[in-house]
Amino acid sequence: MARRVLVPLCLCWALGPAAASAPPNLLLLLMDDMGWGDLGAFGEPSKETPNLDQMASEGMLFLDFYTANPLCSPSRAALLTGRLPVRNGFYTTNAHARNAYTPQDIVGGIADSELLLPELLKKAGYINKIIGKWHLGHRPQFHPLKHGFDEWFGSPNCHFGPFDNRALPNIPVYRDWEMIGRYYEDFKIDRKTGEANLTQIYLQEALDFISKQQGSQQPFFLYWAIDATHAPVYASKQFLGTSQRGLYGDAVREIDDSIGKILKHLQKLGISEKTFVFFTSDNGAALISAPKQGGSNGRFLCGKQTTFEGGMREPAIAWWPGHIPAGGVSHQLGSVMDLFTTSLSLAGLQPPSDRQIDGIDLLPAILQGKLIDRPIFYYRGNEMMAVRVGLYKAHYWTWSNSWEEYSKGIDFCPGQNVSGVTTHTLEEHTTLPLLFHLGMDPGEKYPLSFPSDEYQRAMERISVVVQQHKATMVPGEPQLNVCDKAVMNWSPPGCEKLGKCLKPPKSDPKKCFWPH
């Protein structure tokens, strides 16, 4: 696919004349499996996130902010491309409406034809770094430094393990182009106590990068994608046992402390007013791992893996001293895909016009308090499960997970099963969608009556939105269909220097199995 030249876009209206020639630094803080109800600013009763709560009081709280998919890899692909996973290829067609991601044996990854945010920001002179989890493919062609990032410290996969390096290799940790060790070997994670120093390492990487870039004439984009709140949850020694919420709370407290230090560092260097910061999560809390290894989605139904509110509505805070009015609360319907378009706008760039971009520019909402009318689409794999228009959400399909998986103890809605809503078979409602008023019923417990005037009026509007969406939907080539143990992290670049190369098995590609 041809790549278009990006044309600078004047930002005088947003930043004022003095700043129009100097785009701000961009700092995206992406959490892993952190739920809407995990922060004090969103009502968490233990109030153990003072720094994030202060960030909210100094900036803007988004109460209706969504991910693009209830699972990690597709949501990250959506954030960095501004496109729904079904467009950018981060989905599967192996089975209907199945969640898929990038485990070690995945053959696919982010396609070369996709334009990622850091790649586009380079047109405006940005220096780009990713710290933490990539999760868009681990084979060499999918390396983040091949897709616009200048620096990387982190891992291509989640910190699962420990593995025996025979049936499964331990996950590598990279610095830029080469691995510098593996989880559980060189980067310790104690599965019994939950102790690991990774968040402190990721914090220092962020502080060092910001310090290095502070004296540069170039703006920076820092994508801080840490994973301490993804099971197996971890925290460093000084935070273990300090939370009322157990180990998961310890991890949240360390993250909160780290973000406080990052924001204070920006202020100390005198660049806080030149740095746009946005905090959110990749999907809802993993209730299957709660309470010890998972968080809270507040009043919302279910969690990660589902297209109910608990799986897709995320905590979100925008912070930009001197630009964003303090103490703001927005009911703008937002999406992680908007971070792509908003970041380009801040950089003085237009989004690509040769492809469908699903993200919108949130600056009018953030800086001027405007509300932009737009829908939110809830996808699970290749299927549009639900759509939100205004305060109404219509479910065209419902499914928590199968009876087979549920019988094994895999429950994405523990203690929350709602008859006819949290179904254990994939249920179609395309003729008569289940409709909820999320203002009065955020927990999706009381479907509106089909014959009611309210139902008819809301569905008339929603049906038009859905018809337009489906008429223009051109799915991308699915990247998450094929798995092969031979492509695992056996011999990543740099393994020779460390003596950590492993012998891969014979290639045997198969269709990936996605149970949910």
Q: Which residues define the annotated binding site?
A: 32-33, 72, 282-283
DSSP helix/strand/coil, 66: strand
Q: Look up residue 241 and give its DSSP letter.
A: T
In CATH, the number for domain 25-372 is 3.40.720.10
d(CA 105, CA 189): 22
Average confidence (pLDDT) per 10 residues, the chain, 516 residues: 37 41 94 98 96 98 98 98 98 98 98 98 97 97 98 97 97 98 97 97 98 92 98 98 98 98 98 98 97 96 98 98 96 98 98 97 96 98 98 98 94 94 97 98 98 98 98 97 98 96 97 97
Is 3.20.20.70 the CATH number for 383-472?
no
Long-range contact pairs involving 290-293 (C-beta distance under 8 Å, separation at least 24): 290/248, 290/414, 291/245, 291/246, 291/248, 292/233, 292/246, 292/247, 292/248, 293/231, 293/232, 293/233, 293/247, 293/248
pLDDT at position 21, please? 64
Q: Look up residue 126 and give its DSSP letter.
A: -
Distances (CA, A) of 2 to 113, 115, 124, 350, 353: 8, 10, 19, 16, 11
pLDDT at position 217, please? 84
pLDDT at position 375, please? 98
Domain ranges in the chain?
25-372, 383-472
Half-sphere exposure of 225 (CA within 13 A, CB side): 28
CA-based nearest residue to 159, from 192, 195, 131, 187: 187
Which residues does the annotation mark as catalytic?
A: 72, 135
* DSSP of 6-65: PPB---HHHH-TTTTTSPPEEEEEEESS--GGGSGGGT-TT---HHHHHHHHHSEEEEEE
Q: Which residues pair with 503 in a beta bridge?
A: none
434-437 sheet: strands from edge to edge: 376-380, 383-389, 392-395, 434-437
Task: Answer whether 25-372 and 383-472 agree in fold.
Answer: no
**pTM of the model as a whole:** 0.95
Q: Which residues define the annotated binding site for Ca(2+)?
A: 32-33, 72, 282-283
